[in-house]
Copies of this chain bind each other. A is one copy, B any other.
Amino acid sequence: MGKQVTEMLKGTLEGIVLAILSGRAAYGYEITAWLRDQGFSDIAEGTVYALLVRIEQRGLVDVEKVPSEKGPPRKVYSLNAQGREYLEEFWRTWSFLSERLEQLREGGE
- A-side residues, CB < 8 A to B, are 2, 4-12, 14-16, 19-20, 22-23, 38-40, 89-91, 93-94, 96-98, 100-101, 104-105, 107-109
- Chain B's nearest CB lies how many Å from the CB of A25? 13
Beyond A10-B8, A23-B108, A108-B22, is A15–B96 a contact (Cβ under 8 Å)?
A: no
* Oligomer: number of copies: 2
* Binding site secondary structure of chain A: helix
Q: Which residues of B sit under 8 angstroms from A105, Cβ to Cβ? A: 19, 91
How far is A19 from B20 in the complex, measured between Cα atoms in Å? 31
- What B residues does A93 contact at CB under 8 A? 2, 4-5, 8
Q: Are A7 and B10 in contact (CB under 8 A)?
A: yes
Flag if A7 contacts B16 (CB, 8 Å): no
